[in-house]
């Protein structure tokens, strides 16, 4: 039988090497010490705010810069210039082959 998607998602909550059936299936709670130690070391409280992406990296904060915008403008200019130059060369070669 294949595990359901929900079971696969929840399978990572309890690490398999810490909570083995041998440790969990006892009458006393003494076998759960490794599991309690593991979860007591996890951070508590709300997760810290994470800012990522291009906007946060280049346009917000102390490292704000117009570098990416200028690089995009320059790249578009170079691509356009190259295409225009190639088209002009092909036009000139066609023109001189007719003459």
Q: pLDDT digit string (tens) for 39-48?
A: 888 888 887 7
For residue 56, the model assigns a pLDDT of 75
pTM score above 0.95: no
Q: Is 42 left (phi over 0), alpha (psi -120 to 50) or beta?
A: beta
The pLDDT tens digits along the chain (99 residues) read: 566 776 666 666 665 555 555 655 655 555 667 777 888 888 888 877 776 777 777 777 777 888 888 999 999 999 999 999 999 888 888 777 876
For residue 19, what are its two tokens? 């909570």
Cα–Cα distances in angstroms (integers) from residue 12 to residues 8, 9, 16, 25, 55, in the given order: 8, 7, 8, 20, 32
């Amino acid at each position: 039988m294949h595990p359901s998607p929900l079971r696969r998602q929840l399978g990572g909550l309890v690490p398999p090497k810490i909570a083995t059936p041998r440790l969990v299936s006892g009458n006393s709670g003494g076998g759960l010490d490794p599991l309690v130690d593991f979860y007591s070391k996890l951070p508590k409280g709300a997760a810290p705010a994470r800012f990522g992406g291009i906007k946060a990296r280049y346009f917000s904060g102390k490292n704000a810069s117009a570098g990416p915008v200028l690089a995009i403008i320059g790249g578009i200019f170079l691509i356009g210039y190259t295409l225009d130059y190639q088209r002009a060369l092909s036009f000139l070669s066609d023109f001189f082959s007719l003459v």
